[in-house]
């Protein structure tokens, strides 16, 4: 066990309304790290957060905070604070009094309280907004008040439940940078919940990918992206071509009727596996030079690159590259050994197909913005 662990969830189980939400979840969170719980709606990430905050008690298992079991400790006695999805600012109080709310309860002296509120408002660039009502603020400003209010009481851990979900894209990007800066500046632990994989990759020290109440993978953003553990993680984080393959021997995998050299080993001989190849890791070359021939069936200009759907032996691949091709072009593809990621088969293997039904619209439908798992 590592020493600097602030929160330790041990074999946590919880069911809500007869529906199991978390199943035997174990997770430790290091002090001062930025950890993200990432997964689709209903995966249990918000429930995990609410258990840490004390709003929910697990049916089974332990929550250990800084070495002490906090079973039965009510939320107002925990050294964690939450930034709620829709901010939950007090509408009957102005900006100053919202930020001062927790400090007042902590019985700070008038001067200390004033200094602290002023400092917090300065940190989130809201100096001069003290007297404003909550209703008169924009979404981004409300978000900042929520951050100032939660951080004013100096929590050891800040829990953030989809905090940027209600903001527009540009503001979201700015706030991502700002939140990360605040976290590093204050040196406190952030536990961040999101379904936005890009947000998770750009902000986190550690990502926890969850689905159906089970942790699928824990790792750094690079680990998660480069070495997904199963087809779910590969599919959820970024785009992936997931192809059935057979591990012939260490460093040798067969898929699409060809044998490739790879960098993976430790599988049984002739074990069935999932092979993951990222769209940007495939090179398009003239048909004669490629290892596999394919036909372009769809081409979309994405700004930085083109996105092609390529038919390779009736399996639709997604390939991203900067060269222009037209629909119907016959091309060859090349894959470097280190770009081939071999994963064990999982229950997700059969659920995730190729890109034949892919469209942007479908992608949005499967990534709903609203997170309603607890409501």
Partner 1 sequence: MNKRKLPFGTALLNAPFTLWTVIFILAPLVLVAYFAFTGNDGRFSLQWFEYIFDPARRETYLRMFGDSLLYGALATGISLLLAFPLAHFMAQSKQSVQRVLMLLIMVPMWMNFLIATNAWRYILEHNGLINNLLAGIGLPRLGMINTPGAAILGMVYNFVPFMILPIYTVMARLNVQLVEAAQDLGASRWEVLRRVIVPLSMPGVMSGVIMVFVPSVSVFFINDRLGGVRLIGDVINDRVLNETNLGAAFSLILMLIILVCMLVLNRMGDREKGAFVN
Binding residues vs partner 1 (CB under 8 A): 53, 55, 74-77, 80-82, 84-86, 88-94, 97, 101-102, 105-106, 149-150, 153
Name which of 82 and 206 has its Cβ closer to partner 1.
Answer: 82
Name which of 82 and 320 has its Cβ closer to partner 1.
Answer: 82
Q: How far is the CB of 306 from partner 1 (least distance, A)?
A: 44
Q: How far is the CB of 350 from partner 1 (least distance, A)?
A: 39
Name which of 116 and 341 has its Cβ closer to partner 1.
Answer: 116
Q: Phi/psi of residue 373, each to 5°?
A: -65, -25
Q: Phi/psi of residue 216, each to 5°?
A: -90, -40
User: 102: helix, coil or strand?
Assistant: helix
Distance CA 134, CA 276 (A): 48
Distance CA 218, CA 232 (A): 13
Name which of 74 and 257 has its Cβ closer to partner 1.
Answer: 74
Q: How far is the CB of 168 from partner 1 (least distance, A)?
A: 22
Strands 60-65 and 214-219 turn out to be: unpaired
Q: How far is the CB of 283 from partner 1 (least distance, A)?
A: 50
Residue 120 near residue 112, CB atoms below 8 Å: no
Q: How far is the CB of 85 from partner 1 (least distance, A)?
A: 8
Q: How far is the CB of 374 from partner 1 (least distance, A)?
A: 11
Name which of 92 and 302 has its Cβ closer to partner 1.
Answer: 92
* Length of the chain, in residues: 375
User: 307: helix, coil or strand?
Assistant: strand
Distance CA 199, CA 363 (A): 17
Q: What is the dihedral of CA 191, 193, 199, 204, to 10 degrees?
A: 20
What the block records as the tokens of 276 is 């993951």
Name which of 117 and 209 has its Cβ closer to partner 1.
Answer: 117
Q: How far is the CB of 71 from partner 1 (least distance, A)?
A: 17
Name which of 155 and 294 has its Cβ closer to partner 1.
Answer: 155
Residue 206 near residue 220, CB atoms below 8 Å: yes
Which of the 8 DSSP states describes residue 369?
S
CA angle, 16 as apex, 10 and 22 as ends, to 5°?
Answer: 30
């Amino acid at each position: 066990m590592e020493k600097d662990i602030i929160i330790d969830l041990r074999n946590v189980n919880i069911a809500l309304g007869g529906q199991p939400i978390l199943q035997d979840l174990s997770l430790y969170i290091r002090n001062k790290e930025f950890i993200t719980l990432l997964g689709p709606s209903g995966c249990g990430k918000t429930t995990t957060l609410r258990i840490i905050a004390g709003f929910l008690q697990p049916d089974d298992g332990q929550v250990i905070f800084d070495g002490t079991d906090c079973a039965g400790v009510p939320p107002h006695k925990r050294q964690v604070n939450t930034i709620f999805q829709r901010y939950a600012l007090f509408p009957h109080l102005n900006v100053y009094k919202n930020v001062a709310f927790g400090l007042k309860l902590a019985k700070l002296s008038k001067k200390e309280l004033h200094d602290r509120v002023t400092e917090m408002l300065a940190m989130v660039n809201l100096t001069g907004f003290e007297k404003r009502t909550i209703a008169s603020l924009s979404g981004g400003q409300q978000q900042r008040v929520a951050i100032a209010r939660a951080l004013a009481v100096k929590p050891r851990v800040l829990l953030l439940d989809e905090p940027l979900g209600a903001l527009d894209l540009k503001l979201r990007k700015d706030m991502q940078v700002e939140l990360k800066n605040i976290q590093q500046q204050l040196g406190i632990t952030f536990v961040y919940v999101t379904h936005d994989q890009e947000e998770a990759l750009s902000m986190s020290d550690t990502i926890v990918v969850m689905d159906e109440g089970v942790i699928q993978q824990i790792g750094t953003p690079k680990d998660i992206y480069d070495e997904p553990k199963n087809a779910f993680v590969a599919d959820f984080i970024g785009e992936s071509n997931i192809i059935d393959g057979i591990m012939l021997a260490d460093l040798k995998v067969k898929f699409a009727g060809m044998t490739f050299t790879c960098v993976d080993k430790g599988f049984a001989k002739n074990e069935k596996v999932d092979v993951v190849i990222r769209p940007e890791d495939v090179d398009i070359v003239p048909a004669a030079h490629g290892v596999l021939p394919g036909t372009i069936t769809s081409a979309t200009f994405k700004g930085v690159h083109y996105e092609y759907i390529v038919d390779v032996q009736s399996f639709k691949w997604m390939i991203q590259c900067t060269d222009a091709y037209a629909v119907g072009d016959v091309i060859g593809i090349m894959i470097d050994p280190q770009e081939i990621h071999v994963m064990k088969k999982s229950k997700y293997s059969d659920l995730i197909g190729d890109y034949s039904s892919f469209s942007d619209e479908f992608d949005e439908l499967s990534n709903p913005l609203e997170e309603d798992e607890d409501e």
